[in-house]
A and B are shown apart, each in its own frame.
Chain A
Amino acid sequence: MLELKNIYKYYNPGTVNEMCLFKDFNLTVKEGEFVSVVGSNGSGKTSMLNIICGSIPVESGKIILDGKDITREKEFRRNRRIGRVYQNPALGTCPSMTILENMSLADNKGMKYGLGRGINKGRVDFYRDLLRPLNLGLEDKMHVKVGSLSGGQRQAMALLMSTMTPIEFLILDEHTAALDPKTADIIMELTDKLVKEKHLTTIMVTHNLRYAVEYGNRLLMMHQGEAVIDCAGAEKEALGIDHILAKFNEISIECGN
């Protein structure tokens, strides 16, 4: 279970441009929840993910993961239990290394990176089996550098790599936004499959309202650092795109957009 308690986050503190994003922000994500987060630009979606992962510090408040306060824990330490996929497909893989090398790197997460062989030959078939269901032909390109793959192929790899080792949390930061509609659908289906298979607690930020409605069992709409819609279970099932869009417009008018 993940808890954000009384989070305060300022940007440019102490300057004339000081902006308060989160003011006493609270959020609890239960184990096994798949939360889709929507909201306009600057509403605090990505900042929330960055705060959870430790990429940016908070002014005050507590981040509690499974009862343990991780507010001061460094980003790389938190990542032992968190997998993250970014909007930019290039951020989830190493372009100058081959598919096999990338998979091997990810496979070793949580363990020591010592002087043992980087590639465990016994695992190659396992990697192929992971790649085969993608139907992208990657299993036959094990020695191809990832840099020469397309964005969709890289994002699929990034998703596989971030969920390969046992993690508890999956953080998806608009991970389909840079892909064409068809590829985005494929990646979204893969995401759903992985989340269900591995019972991952997931937070997904998306600008695609259809995905937000279709996938996940909880929906959050952020606006100016607050959750203006937060519904789960049956309540979310009943929610339609029209309703979300109406709320979205309402917010936008308030802002004068």
Chain B
Amino acid sequence: MDFVITILEQGLIYGILALGVYITYKILDFPDLTADGSFPLGAAVSAALITKGINPYLTLLAAFAAGVVAGICTGLIHVKGKVRDLLSGIIMMTALWTINLRIAGTSNVPLFSKETIFKNSMTEKIFTGGASSYSTLIIVLILAVIAKLLLDFYMNSKSGFLLRAVGDNDKLVTALAKDEGNVKILGLAIANGLIALSGSIFCQEERVFEISMGTGAIVIGLASVIIGTSIFRNLTFVKSTTAVIIGSVLYKACTAVAMRNFEPQDMKFITAALFLIVLLISMERKRKVKTHA
């Protein structure tokens, strides 16, 4: 049972990351590697603020804001500097490593003795007895649902329509008398905000900040997006945002089951192998290879 709960918890936390990757990869068609830097950025911001004694819930907002800034930087490098999308992300990802270290102070910040969004005086009052083992899952679920609903609301707004249009046909955005560059920057900002938020929740759940925790975040995000959108491709009543979160939980379940039979150091290989299998099974590969390679 604990095994299933852990999968659900982590799957939902990475689900918020996947929502961000969904924006860049599916909507903007932008291979944004900033994710590997903005995920630990959110964690670093939260860890640093929690260590200073700031309310952990407020650090979620701070983490989101930090991610937004990182996304804006990637966007500015790409749009104003006219640097290729992939390179813009790589530049920011690399720079963020140092920035994260500076923010957190060291490469490892333990939060075991601190109050987090999961363990504080309030949650201890609400979740008592048998419910306490589900408290983390319930909080994560609430956060994931809020993130999803807010994103759904945004995607159905006028601004969201423009964001969907820019990845599809940027000429149309120009024709609508809007600067397509600014729309792209906005999209990257929201995406990286969500990714940093996910990083912040993750480090509070793990009760530790690790500088290398972001390595491979983009792979997890992409795999979740691709699993989610290909499974629910023909079910139009399932919103893409829901599909992506479910995809994240499924991916987490796959890795968790696989890891039972392997050593911890095999983790990254399993991640990569599973991602490849996901790509081979879903037909996603064909379209992307043709248009981008």
Q: Does B157 contact A (CB under 8 A)?
A: yes
Tell me whether B154 and A94 are in contact (CB under 8 A): no
Q: Chain B 74-88 against A: per-residue CB contact (8 Å), 1 yes, 0 no? A: 000000000000000
List the A residue with the shortest CB-CB distance to B163. Answer: A113
Contact in complex: B175, A79 (CB < 8 Å):
yes
Contact A94 B169 (CB under 8 A): yes
Bound-state Cα–Cα, A162 to B174, Å: 12
Which residues of B are found within 8 Å of A117, using beta-carbon distances? 156-158
Judging by beta carbons under 8 Å apart, are B161 and A97 in contact? Answer: yes
Question: In whole Å, how far is A166's beta carbon from the nearest beta carbon of chain B?
Answer: 12
Query: CB < 8 Å: which of A74, A93, A104, A119 contacts B179?
Result: A74
- Nearest-Cβ distance from residue B186 to partner chain A, whole angstroms: 10
CB-contacts of B77-119 with A (<8 A): none
Cβ of B154: which chain A residues have Cβ within 8 Å of it?
115
> In this complex, which of A95, A114, A115 has the most chain B Cβ atoms within 10 angstroms of its Cβ?
A115
Q: Among the listed A79, A83, A105, which residue makes an inter-chain contact with B161, where contact means beta carbons less than 8 Å apart? A: A105
In the complex, whether A127 has a CB less than 8 A from a CB of chain B is: no
B164 contacts partner chain A, Cβ-Cβ < 8 Å: yes
Compute how far the CA of A113 lies from the CA of B178 in the bound complex, rounded to whole angstroms: 9
Which residue of chain B lies nearest to A96 when distances are taken between CB atoms in the complex? Answer: B168
> Which B residues touch A97, using CB under 8 A?
161, 164-165, 168
B165 touches A118 (CB 8 A): no
Complex CA distance for A113 and B174, rounded to whole angstroms: 13
Using Cβ atoms and an 8 Å threshold, which residues of chain A touch B174? Answer: 75-76, 79
Interface of B is mostly: helix
Q: Which residues of chain A are within 8 angstroms of B205 by Cβ–Cβ distance?
A: none
Interface of A is mostly: loop
**CA separation between A118 and B164, bound complex, in Å?**
11
Bound Cα distance from A255 to B158, whole angstroms: 51
* Chain B residues with a Cβ under 8 A of chain A: 154, 156-162, 164-165, 168-169, 171-180
Inter-chain contact A114/B168, CB cutoff 8 Å: no
**Residue contact A116 to B158, C-beta cutoff 8 Å:** yes
Are A79's CB and B177's CB within 8 A? yes
Docked complex Cα distance between A216 and B27 (Å): 40
Given contacts A114-B158, A119-B156, 5 further A-B pairs with CB under 8 A are A86-B171, A90-B169, A116-B157, A117-B157, A118-B157
Give A30 to B158 CA distance when docked, in angstroms.
35
Which residue from B162, B171, B179 sits with its C-beta under 8 Å from A105?
B162
Binding site for B on A (CB under 8 A): 74-77, 79-80, 83-84, 86, 90-97, 101, 104-106, 108-110, 112-119, 162
Tell me, in angstroms, the Cα distance from A5 to B156 when the chains sit together: 44
How far is the CB of B284 from the nearest CB of chain A, in Å?
15
A-B contact count, CB below 8 Å?
Answer: 78
Can you report 5 A-B residue pairs in the complex whose CB atoms are below 8 A from each other? A79-B176, A80-B177, A93-B172, A101-B161, A105-B161
Bound-complex Cα distance A79 to B169 (A) = 16
Complex CA gap A190/B42 in Å reads 54
Smallest CB separation, A121 vs chain B (Å): 12
A92 to B169, CA, bound (A): 8
Give the contacting residue for B157; candidates A75, A92, A93, A115; CB below 8 A: A115
Q: How far is the CB of B200 from chain A (nearest CB, A)?
A: 24
Most chain-A CB neighbours within 10 Å: which of B156, B158, B174, B180? B158
CA distance A162 to B169 in the complex (A): 14
Q: Which residue of B lies closest to A97 (CB)?
A: B164
Cβ of B178 and Cβ of A76 under 8 Å apart? Answer: yes
Q: Which of B159, B172, B173 has the most CB of A within 10 A?
A: B172
Q: Which residue of A lies closest to B158 (CB)?
A: A113
What's the Cα separation between A118 and B158 when bound, in Å? 4
Query: Which of B161, B173, B175 has a CB less than 8 Å from the CB of A118?
Result: B161
- Separation in Å of the B260 CB from the closest CB of chain A? 39
Give the nearest-CB partner of A91 in chain B. B171
A115 touches B158 (CB 8 A): yes
Contact A113 B161 (CB under 8 A): yes
Inter-chain CA distance A105–B178, complex, in Å, is 11
Closest Cβ–Cβ distance, residue A160 to chain B (whole Å): 13
Q: Is the CB of A93 within 8 A of B159?
A: no
Contacts A97-B165, A118-B156, A118-B158; is A110 near B172 (CB within 8 Å)?
Answer: no
Rounded to whole angstroms, the CA-CA distance of A235 and B160 in the bound complex is: 50
Per the bound structure, the CA–CA distance linking A109 and B177 in Å amounts to 7
Name B159's closest neighbour in chain A (CB-CB).
A113
With a CB–CB cut-off of 8 A, which chain A residues contact B156?
117-119
Determine the residue in chain B with the shortest Cβ distance to A101: B161
Q: With CB as the reference atom, state the residue of chain B lying closest to A86.
A: B171
B residues near A75, Cβ cutoff 8 Å = 174
Question: A-B pairs with the 6 shortest C-beta distances?
Answer: A118-B161, A80-B177, A113-B158, A79-B177, A94-B168, A115-B157
Are A92 and B164 in contact, with the CB atoms below 8 A? no
Once A91-B169, A91-B172, A93-B169 are accepted as A-B contacts, the answer to whether A77 and B161 lie under 8 Å apart by CB is no
Q: Which of B168, B169, B177, B179 has the most CB of A within 10 A?
A: B177
- Chain B hits for A76, CB < 8 A: 173-174, 177-180
Query: CA A119 – CA B173 in complex, angstroms?
Result: 17
